[in-house]
Structure 1
């Protein structure tokens, strides 16, 4: 079961699934004109939506030596002119880092490599930058020049945009699908829902229980918004019971207090990044961050106690 799941898939919906970005992306469109012309328009929009996952990955992945991100990380101490997509993605990541005082930090790439997150899911090849994993490196070592659209890495470091890139791809896909009005995009459990489902009701999304893989923690109603969930059960470090894919930049180890963080936001990139930050900050500071941003969220601690922001409603 994915971290989140669409409930009640209607038989009349147009549904497709394709492997993208190391997961399965499912796009569901409902309530669309059944004419041949309308189907062609729908299918073309869906194809363009899937294409964004490939484009974002080609620019923002650290697992491909030919990606624009990897080429940027190969240079430090120099201003590098980058594409608008990479510039804006890094700018967003740095803004979240600033807002969270470094609880979210995109410069953890080398430390992620040292933890074993080095394998390209497409080829199986181990990809390593050979940059030393130094805790002293931080988001403050990344300097942006908006007028030149350039990025300078003050020190040798590896940027990891994993907590924002998939959300960005979802958001770009949504823009292609927007004319279809009623649809859902599910990228491995990170979901955006627009309009209504086949019953002309808001979409219902199930959130996985963090300790019972075949059970749901809860369900929420969603329309014209994204829901992203981070869990400590997703990708473990070797055989460790406590180390996983979320890293606390201040300690160099995985946070222990939160085991699941679900965030509802206007965009998937915002939900994904701030969910990751809240996971690191813990229940009290994490909820405070999300409340300042006026987002709905549910954090679950190691004792399976739920902590929610005002406005979070189970269905």
Structure 2
């Protein structure tokens, strides 16, 4: 396998192909990543999201409907714990556009986001200045975009964006990284023609117990679950479920979407969905019922 490594959207990408990608394929991947980042990043002053955060108005994007429809399902399933208006809550704790990492008092995200934001297949419109954060599923969506852009490349394909990955072709054996020790895994899974996305409280963490997974209803980081992994046909839904699993309602959403999963509590217990084929190394294991 040929491996192409590069940095984009704040993480390291690895794209594995049977044969080395040519210039045209690499340029296509770069253009798709730049387009998505320019539309949806809250860390770029020139992005559409930043402009709508300042002035209101619209974001024109082919990803608007797919992502915001999924956010609606996430919000409904978690009783509002997952909300695309969590950007200001993250900024209040220091995870802002400048990465200040200086925390102020937590603030809840507005719970009326569906009243303040409207969307169609190719556009999202805010009735007033509104800062969005699509981190609950955006990287997974971009993995899908890159995978689709390489649909014409023959042979096996692995698109890995900092651990959120999609596999086409032969099965790949993937370790589930221990959230408190990156040199260890809590289990392994074989991934074939599917996506795996993970989330953990040790990633994007700072200060005294602060991290990027917040309950939008309170603006406070979650404390019960340490890490989640979700396996789905596409990476956007896997990413979305990996976020939802930090909250009540996450397993039910996964079941309705046909997504398998594993999650680990902060005290070291592992839980998985009934159909999950992951081999886990912990003895403190329980399986949910459907």
Instruction: Calculate the TM-score normalised by the size of structure 1.
Output: 0.79
- Report the counterpart of residue 165 of structure 2 in structure 1: 191
Aligned to 1:49: 29
1:288 aligns with 2:252: yes
Is 1:107 the counterpart of 2:85 in the alignment? yes
Counterpart-to-counterpart distance in 1, 2:136 and 2:122: 26
Shift of 1:165: 2.0
State the match for 1:311 in structure 2.
Answer: 275
Cα drift, residue 271 of structure 1? 1.0
Whether the 8 Å CA contact 1:56–1:168 is kept in 2: the answer is no
2:225 corresponds to 1:258 = yes
1: CA distance between counterparts of 2:158 and 2:124?
Answer: 35
User: Matches of 1:216 and 1:275 in 2, distance apart?
Assistant: 17
Verify: 1:27 aligned to 2:15, yes or no.
Answer: yes
CA distance in 2 between counterparts of 1:150 and 1:219 reads 39
Cα separation, 1, equivalents of 2:211 and 2:134: 17
Whether contact under 8 Å (1:16, 1:28) holds in the other structure is yes
Q: Give the RMSD, CA atoms, in angstroms.
A: 2.5
Residue 15 (structure 1) aligned with residue 3 (structure 2): yes
* 1:144 and 2:118 matched: yes
Q: Which residue of 2 aligns with 1:276?
A: 243
**What SS does structure 1 have at the residue aligned with 2:34?**
helix
**Where does the alignment leave 5 or more consecutive residues of structure 1 unmatched?**
1-12, 33-38, 197-201
Tell me how far 1:147 sits from its aligned partner. 8.2
Q: Is the 8 A contact 2:62 2:121 kept in 1?
A: no
- 1:166 CA drift (Å): 1.3
Question: Larger radius of gyration, structure 1 or 2?
Answer: 1
Bigger mean CA deviation after superposition, 95-104 or 304-313: 95-104
Q: Secondary structure at the match of 2:62?
A: helix
Question: 1: distance between equivalents of 2:111 and 2:79?
Answer: 14
How many aligned positions are there?
274
Counterpart CA distance in 1 for 2:110 and 2:271 is: 32
TM-score normalised according to structure 2 size: 0.85
Task: Quote the Cα distance in structure 1 between the aligned partners of 2:109 and 2:118.
Answer: 21
Residue deviations 1:72-102 (CA, integer Å, cap 9, x gap): 22234xxx34313353333433343234331
Contact 1:300–1:306 (8 Å) recurs in 2: yes
2:265 maps to 1:301: yes
1:134–1:214 CA distance, 2 compared to 1 (3 A)? closer
Quick check: 1:58–1:68 contact (8 Å CA) kept in 2? Answer: yes
